[in-house]
Structure 1
């Protein structure tokens, strides 16, 4: 869950060995986690999450070498997530996805041990407190990531435009124009959420993220998921073509953190 290209999911640099290169990997607030719903604490003081993307301007879609990412123009403070656990508005920077090779795994977070086929991450930064995204990314309250689970079912009409564009960024480090896409259309109707302090899920694994994980998934079709699986970890010149699948980090130890819920069970 970052713009880094310095890592991979296989071999000596895979997720199980990240602690060798990135000391944060064994930190006290690593992500993702398994959300145990019965242990989440309902917090009546948590306000609803307010998401305003009406003024956002998407610029491009790219294959970052570990995911597919849609990047956004810096639109002042008009494209923000606020409320809930956040003290300031956080500005949208990009969104990207994680998914599996086959249906029953792919999400980074799990709920009561259940994996979803995919997970959407909308990445925001605290532009009130920090001057740049890079500065925010290394600060304890610098980032806020809204996570949405993908569940297979009916075709998602609004995701179709994005999945139809994936052929343009099949190879690592390829980029194409992708304008006028409002990610509000990818959010679930129910805005109940869990929240906890965590980290980036890819190196350098900075512990700078306030996570907001929506309880309700969005439905996407198996054909739409298959279009994600046609992307490649490898570049166009690479002789070995590696399908981009299973690009998720497994759940990390909670280490005494409390997961708060905006809703009662």
Structure 2
């Protein structure tokens, strides 16, 4: 398997990642299954706060593995703070993982429940100089994870998808306030883990929101109609781009709620 071609198929999927990315077999990998009975409520965990500048949103991209929205992170323009974090973390990108049908697609699993999709908002700690530097530090990155469940509701995150049908397509995605994606409840689980894509660096403080947000089945269908092939190739639907839960290996998941 060449460095560049990891993916989610049987020949290059999560079971093979460790062949080129040994960290994928590390002790602090993500995602995990969270079992309520093992979670420790931590009364010292305060609320988290996001102050996002809608002008920081730049582009939406289909890279053949996910749909990603990229933000300007050259200064403290859109930041996350509070909760388990020390200092302000800058929003760099958000992306989604989803299934081929509504009954699976999320990466984290809660008491056996899988959601249709999971949204990851990736922030990094500017005290480490730049994003590459943050990837090498245990407190380098903070990801807010939000579950998506299918209902009649409509979510703006999926509006730009028509412009990025095929791999390599990028389109402007401007004046977007990512905080509209947050559920009403700020309750969260938190644990130390990794990126869920190679090289699977173990630098992430996860803030996983308990309450899912709702998207329409039309929007999920649109997401599943993206192609992981380029414009002049046959359509190859981009679906099931999720990594299954990894061993917890003694880590403790804390919750902000009882």
Q: Which moved more, 1:8-17 or 1:241-250?
A: 8-17
Question: In 2, distance between residues paired with 1:58 and 1:83?
Answer: 22
Question: In 2, distance between residues paired with 1:51 and 1:154?
Answer: 27
TM-score (normalizing by structure 2): 0.95
Cα displacement (A) at 1:55: 5.6
Question: In 2, distance between residues paired with 1:79 and 1:202?
Answer: 24
Cα displacement (A) at 1:197: 0.2
Match of 1:197 in 2: 192
Q: Within the alignment, does 1:216 sit opposite 2:214 as a pair? A: no
Mind listing any 5+ residue stretches in structure 2 that lack a counterpart? none
Q: Measured at CA, do residues 5 and 189 of structure 1 come closer, stay the same or move farther in structure 2, by a change above 3 Å?
A: farther
Q: Which moved more, 1:226-235 or 1:5-14?
A: 5-14
Cα displacement (A) at 1:11: 3.3
Aligned residues: 256
Question: In 2, distance between residues paired with 1:175 and 1:5?
Answer: 19
Q: Which moved more, 1:53-62 or 1:36-45?
A: 53-62
Question: In 2, distance between residues paired with 1:230 and 1:243?
Answer: 6
Partner SS, residue 245 of structure 1: coil
Question: In 1, distance between residues paired with 2:171 and 2:165?
Answer: 11
Partner SS, residue 165 of structure 1: helix
Cα displacement (A) at 1:6: 4.1
* Structure 1 residue runs of 4 or more that deviate by more than 6 Å after TM superposition: none
Match of 1:263 in 2: 257
Question: In 2, distance between residues paired with 1:256 and 1:108?
Answer: 19
Q: Measured at CA, do residues 5 and 106 of structure 1 come closer, stay the same or move farther in structure 2, by a change above 3 Å?
A: farther
Partner SS, residue 227 of structure 1: helix
TM-score (normalizing by structure 1): 0.93
**What are the equivalent positions in structure 2 for 1:87-98 lying under 5 Å apart?**
87-98=86-97
Cα displacement (A) at 1:79: 1.0
Q: Measured at CA, do residues 56 and 235 of structure 1 come closer, stay the same or move farther in structure 2, by a change above 3 Å?
A: same
- 2:241 is matched with which residue: 239, 247, 254? 247
Mind listing any 5+ residue stretches in structure 1 that lack a counterpart? none
Q: Measured at CA, do residues 140 and 51 of structure 1 come closer, stay the same or move farther in structure 2, by a change above 3 Å?
A: same
Q: Measured at CA, do residues 253 and 5 of structure 1 come closer, stay the same or move farther in structure 2, by a change above 3 Å?
A: same
Partner SS, residue 11 of structure 1: coil
Q: Measured at CA, do residues 134 and 209 of structure 1 come closer, stay the same or move farther in structure 2, by a change above 3 Å?
A: same
Match of 2:103 in 1: 104
Question: In 1, distance between residues paired with 2:246 and 2:98?
Answer: 18
Partner SS, residue 101 of structure 1: coil
Match of 2:229 in 1: 234
Whether contact under 8 Å (1:35, 1:109) holds in the other structure is: yes
Q: Measured at CA, do residues 56 and 191 of structure 1 come closer, stay the same or move farther in structure 2, by a change above 3 Å?
A: farther
Match of 2:153 in 1: 155
